Structure 1
């Protein structure tokens, strides 16, 4: 079994908890700007002192409302400033945060609130409050409910005005590294979500070693700042929040994904943290704008893409010849500079997680002047376990283990992980815990991959998602799906073929890209049902499938596909909140399309 370890850089004290930094920085440098809050068309700075005071006031309100140390408080909201205030206030009161996706159904909310035994729930909107009301109908012990849009933070602050400072201090210091900090319910592609228990030490150990180690360069630039737009109910975004607060980099929030582009331009971050779909959208948008500008612009864009990829693969200025350096300099003025300007002009680095980015996008963005460091991990590992690093970015891998982390590959190819970032248990589920963590302390991730001689990890698929065809061929669907999904017209792809004679795929079209295609091809009135069989659309999707097949053997190739007349979405029930395809539900709901592929 191949193992690879990286020594830890920061040993977090046993007494530390996540709320400490807010109060320490608020006392030591109260005038330092730590957050910028979106107000109207601008960004209002929030100092360390102001943030501390707001967190303390809300924490007192929770204490006055009867929240005791170790009690769970659920938080259901989009990514916004108030989430971060409430999150740290929950910790300051000695309680445990339980994030809930704001898109969750009443049934999902009922499960999380009841299973966690939440003492209180903070929701964002009146619509969320209505969902919660439905969810609580069958729950005997009703939690307290506060609504952000109806002044929850002000209400709590006023309610806790008489709670002494000493009481708050005692509450905060009562929680240490071993104590539970949060229960994050895994979105789950099958079955009910499991509550993943992460301690203060899990989160702080991960965050502080990330800051001091692999990504320290991101925090050494002038006025480091990041725009957070991923759902804070997701473990990746939650860890990012902690990293930014711990590092002192300026944090800003975007609650609406549709506003990301203008918010990037106005906030001007120095680095970005996202999922591959975000970077795919940026690339596809640029490609479609070039296509809409006519043949010359389209040719220039694709030549720029080729030059960016070649420059990146040659390892930049140190390996590129004179001709390639000249071409890249030309395209920097024509294409890359405009792309960077669209992100605010200060962005030079990004971190990608959640699923595979792919080498094509990795090389393009590095060549265009925005280097993306791909990482990997799970909720059970406090989000990241590995990440690529500045100066040693091996595109196509998910990087080396973080400081203090050990990875190994089992005999069956499964990636195993050890470290202080690994969770201790699933909430109220000892059987699932025993299944995930073996007697030697290895966490079985369920991901299949390899570790090279330099310690770089490459993920090839999910153990439970491996397809075995009727001919006995093992096929990892992930790499095939990632390459197909990279096409501008494609939204989702699900590769199938278990016990079937060949591999096939269900493919959906991207609504935004399709609207642009319809306009460019004078087909504005065409319906999705008509377009999914349009020869030009089918040919375009076939090109994506053909390109994806280049990376696998003949037996693993996608032989047939069908374009569906709908998209997979969270609302349709076919995607988890973290945008993973629920394969069993897709297979059930589109069984006729699947059968048609094989008959």
Structure 2
């Protein structure tokens, strides 16, 4: 049971007739049981052996979330091959880097878009033998999954291949084998291949099972990229418990599919929760009576939930108001999230306390955790019956935390990676001789044993005056206002702090309507002086209580969206700071030049 392929077969033996995967096609759900998925996995495993894939060979999965992703993933692990995921948004150059670094022999792609990008650089990827598409496409240089699987289907050949698959399961695969090489989607530097072992994921499953009350009747919504350690890890846990996973190929569909699928649990990055939070507040912002009812309902729900957290019955005053508050406001928040949940897990980026309290007031628990790809990704997490908002919870079972130099969080435990693929220098820098993983995050463990994150150490701003400033708490203050979609604080090696903000166009349109401002395009709206002044005023009010060295001295409003496609966001929707600074370098330089001019004009110099 220390190998994921053996784990899967154990789940099939116990829960074979239960639903394993579900995906929406048109107006219908397509569901397959664990037994049906197992048969497809065995078929693909035979075909991989027939294609000459040996234990230890790398096989890339370049696809959107779908049942076939999991099918190929487990088929590779069944024969001792190493799945090497690639984000479906990757460019040909990024594909080439991962394939050539890993030496992958096969690429499984979603469909025509992904396969075409592979073919664009196929001549520059000498290790690749075949590109296989999940979709039935007609594209020279590719085959389809159905055709690929059929290569192991001849009666005599099938018996021979089945025997080899079973031999590998019995004699070859083991807990220290790699279950994946996951390339980091970090905000800086070239992606590095994180080598995760089967025992890492098995230990993670065990740690989660001790505290998360999940049964086979539960089901999850799989919408974060399976190429990322968070979704792949949570999906492995979902499978280990015999649950159903509902696959979301396009994250833009998540709001609709939450309501349709009604999952009892899910893992997400903060962006989903922040979007629901901002939307709920925006709906009542222009109606004083609705806003008053909304705020009252949230206050009632919050008071009751805080009492429940302490194991107490809420005060009768609040308890008596809860049914009406729930009917008018709180139930609609739950409905937007697809109904009641056992829990919702959140990780991958900082999670604001006010957003956690918002969902708690509506009766939805969001438990924050901390992790990184290099730890499979689990390091610490809040438990449904043992949590504290504003923290990332206690360390996982079997793990240890230590605070190192510059308050860096160090972790040692059963989920720590083997190292970086073909990169011993980077491995030595990440894991010290005593086995401590250097996370690169600053923080501390509070008196109750809960981990608190301050900021990424690489993101700490050091101004010319020598002031050290953590940007994320200040950006969090700004993002509490639904007007702002993204905020990037600047000032490293500069005389003061400045800001780049990407506002929400619908919220800017509301401002324009209130002020009677007419415009013919979003650009004209963004360039309007009254609108720009409103943005400045909002920033000033939100940050007025910050100390002098943390005050924002100037800002610029950005027109361009922040997306994965344009390289400004990671797949978990974190801002790539260095990329933003590079993309808007001229805007930033101009901003600081104007500040210098103003200071010279006032006699303060630089």
Structure-1-length-normalised TM-score: 0.91
Counterpart in 1 of 2:189? 191
Aligned equivalents of 2:551, 2:306: Cα separation in 1: 26
Counterpart in 2 of 1:6? none
Unpaired runs of 5+ residues, structure 2, are 138-143, 596-606
Q: Which piece of structure 1 moves more, 67-76 or 152-161? A: 152-161
CA contact (8 A) 2:221 2:245 kept: yes
Aligned equivalents of 2:97, 2:237: Cα separation in 1: 29
1:356-392 Cα offsets, whole Å, 9 max, x none, are 1111001110111101000011000001211111122
Counterpart in 1 of 2:73? 87
Candidates 493, 515, 538, aligned match of 1:543: 538
Candidates 455, 471, 487, aligned match of 1:461: 455
- The root-mean-square deviation of aligned C-alpha atoms, in Å, is 2.3
Counterpart in 2 of 1:345? 339
SS of residue matched to 2:194: strand
SS of residue matched to 2:158: coil
Deviation at 1:119, TM superposition (A): 0.8
Q: Which piece of structure 1 moves more, 516-525 or 64-73? A: 516-525
Aligned equivalents of 1:123, 1:511: Cα separation in 2: 35
Deviation at 1:517, TM superposition (A): 6.6
Deviation at 1:568, TM superposition (A): 2.4
Candidates 235, 247, 251, aligned match of 1:253: 247
Whose radius of gyration is greater, 1 or 2? 2
Counterpart in 2 of 1:406? 400
Aligned equivalents of 1:320, 1:549: Cα separation in 2: 35
Candidates 161, 165, 171, aligned match of 1:168: 165
SS of residue matched to 1:184: strand
CA contact (8 A) 1:388 1:399 kept: yes
Deviation at 1:312, TM superposition (A): 4.3
Please list, as runs of the form range in 1=range in 2, the aligned pairs for 1:108-507 lying within 5 A after superposition: 108-150=94-136, 152-161=144-153, 162-164=157-159, 165-173=162-170, 174-211=172-209, 213-215=210-212, 217=213, 219-220=214-215, 223-291=217-285, 294-314=287-307, 316=309, 318=312, 320-507=314-501
Q: Which piece of structure 1 moves more, 160-169 or 228-237? A: 160-169
Would the alpha carbon gap of residues 48 and 295 (structure 1) be closer, same or farther in structure 2, given more than 3 Å must change?
same
Counterpart in 1 of 2:17? 31
Would the alpha carbon gap of residues 518 and 318 (structure 1) be closer, same or farther in structure 2, given more than 3 Å must change?
farther
Aligned equivalents of 2:572, 2:99: Cα separation in 1: 20
Aligned equivalents of 2:293, 2:529: Cα separation in 1: 28
CA contact (8 A) 1:73 1:118 kept: yes
Would the alpha carbon gap of residues 247 and 39 (structure 1) be closer, same or farther in structure 2, given more than 3 Å must change?
same
Aligned equivalents of 1:414, 1:267: Cα separation in 2: 40
Please list, as runs of the form range in 1=range in 2, the aligned pairs for 1:559-598 lying within 5 A after superposition: 559-598=553-592
Aligned equivalents of 1:549, 1:163: Cα separation in 2: 72
Q: Which piece of structure 1 moves more, 254-263 or 314-323? A: 314-323
Aligned equivalents of 1:309, 1:330: Cα separation in 2: 14
Q: Count matched residues.
A: 579
Unpaired runs of 5+ residues, structure 1, are 1-12
Aligned equivalents of 2:443, 2:305: Cα separation in 1: 24
Would the alpha carbon gap of residues 235 and 518 (structure 1) be closer, same or farther in structure 2, given more than 3 Å must change?
farther
Aligned equivalents of 2:260, 2:466: Cα separation in 1: 54
Candidates 22, 39, 53, aligned match of 2:39: 53
Q: Which piece of structure 1 moves more, 320-329 or 452-461? A: 320-329
Counterpart in 2 of 1:67? 53
Deviation at 1:512, TM superposition (A): 6.0
Would the alpha carbon gap of residues 520 and 593 (structure 1) be closer, same or farther in structure 2, given more than 3 Å must change?
same
Aligned equivalents of 2:544, 2:145: Cα separation in 1: 53
Deviation at 1:309, TM superposition (A): 4.1
Aligned equivalents of 1:304, 1:259: Cα separation in 2: 29
Deviation at 1:525, TM superposition (A): 3.1
Aligned equivalents of 2:506, 2:63: Cα separation in 1: 26
Counterpart in 1 of 2:140? none
CA contact (8 A) 1:509 1:567 kept: no
Aligned equivalents of 2:536, 2:107: Cα separation in 1: 45
SS of residue matched to 2:89: coil
Deviation at 1:69, TM superposition (A): 0.8
SS of residue matched to 1:360: helix
Deviation at 1:513, TM superposition (A): 5.3
1:449-493 Cα offsets, whole Å, 9 max, x none, are 010122100000011111112222110111112232232222211
CA contact (8 A) 2:298 2:330 kept: no
Deviation at 1:314, TM superposition (A): 4.9
Would the alpha carbon gap of residues 471 and 304 (structure 1) be closer, same or farther in structure 2, given more than 3 Å must change?
farther
Deviation at 1:189, TM superposition (A): 2.1
Q: Which piece of structure 1 moves more, 138-147 or 230-239? A: 138-147
Deviation at 1:190, TM superposition (A): 2.4
Structure-2-length-normalised TM-score: 0.90
SS of residue matched to 1:118: coil
Candidates 491, 510, 523, aligned match of 1:528: 523
Aligned equivalents of 1:231, 1:519: Cα separation in 2: 38
Would the alpha carbon gap of residues 516 and 37 (structure 1) be closer, same or farther in structure 2, given more than 3 Å must change?
farther
